[in-house]
Amino acid sequence: ETGVTQTPRHLVMGMTNKKSLKCEQHLGHNAMYWYKQSAKKPLELMFVYNFKEQTENNSVPSRFSPECPNSSHLFLHLHTLQPEDSALYLCASSLRKGSELGTDTQYFGPGTRLTVL
Amino acid sequence: AQKITQTQPGMFVQEKEAVTLDCTYDTSDPSYGLFWYKQPSSGEMIFLIYQGSYDQQNATEGRYSLNFQKARKSANLVISASQLGDSAMYFCAMRAPSGGSYIPTFGRGTSLIVHP
């Protein structure tokens, strides 16, 4: 596997279900991100992890729970979601090298298309 | 606050012609990076090109070039010799300091359709 992978690619769940999204990066990067992309809305940053530590939580509801066990893996645990949470969830990673943060390019996975019934 | 503006919701271009996608940005910091991504209907965001605020020359990557006009705060993407496979959403993004972090900011995107 190369780049950033995400599983599953498609997920349909009921509002009472619990599911998890998985992201894995094979680029040797140190930062990982979760984004939500809804129709007709800009890309929304949800969480940022740098060196396994959460550094940003963009006022995300607690029904979304991230987990970053190491720099290569990122999970998004989902429970009691609402239909408005239906969206494309994108994972990204970046090198996060020293202070050169303006040049820190993000590389994205293919996304998980989530439908909440 | 950081802001990216893409004013063209949709663009159409004939195959083999060049097309320019507009992007303007707003930041008060002199150090920042500008990025363009392509998102086909499959969903994956594909990194295309990067321009640093201190770079003297416009960035180029194959058929992609970035027309960087710092004084006007614009970073337009130019695609030369358009191909049918270029049909996709295109997003402009910026990384600039904000409260001690470099949170990426994305524009709303431009939908490009290439006609045969």
- DSSP one-letter string for A6-61: EE-SEEEE-TT-EEEEEEEE-S--SEEEEEEE-TTS--EEEEEEETTEEEEE-S--
| B 12-71 residues inside an 8 A Cβ radius of A | 31-33, 35, 37, 42-47, 50, 52-53
User: Quick check: bond before A8 cis, omega within 30?
Assistant: yes
Residue range A2-8: average pLDDT? Answer: 94
Residue range A13-39: average pLDDT? Answer: 94
Low-confidence ranges of chain B (pLDDT < 70): 100
CB-CB neighbors (< 8 A) of B106 in chain A: 42-43
Q: Is B86 strand, coil or helix?
A: helix
What pLDDT, on the 0 to 100 scale, is given for residue A88? 97
**How close does chain A come to B59, measured CA to CA in Å?**
13
Contact criterion met (CB < 8 Å) for B45 and A108: yes
What pLDDT, on the 0 to 100 scale, is given for residue B103? 81
Which residue among B96, B103, B108 sits closest to A45, beta carbon to beta carbon? Answer: B103
What pLDDT, on the 0 to 100 scale, is given for residue B97? 81
Contact criterion met (CB < 8 Å) for B47 and A56: no
Better pLDDT: A19 or A58: A19
pLDDT at A1 over 70: no
**Average confidence score pLDDT of chain B:** 94
Candidates A50, A60, A106: best to mutate against B (most CBs of B within 10 A) is A106
CB-CB neighbors (< 8 A) of A105 in chain B: 33, 35, 47, 50
pLDDT at A96 over 90: no
User: Do A81 and A28 touch, CB atoms closer than 8 A?
Assistant: no
A11 touching chain B per CB within 8 A: no
| Percent of chain A clearing pLDDT 70 (strictly above) | 96
DSSP B101: B
pLDDT in tens, B74-97: 999 999 999 999 999 999 999 988
Beta bridge partners, B79, equal B19, B64
**Average confidence score pLDDT of chain A:** 92
pLDDT at A52 over 90: no
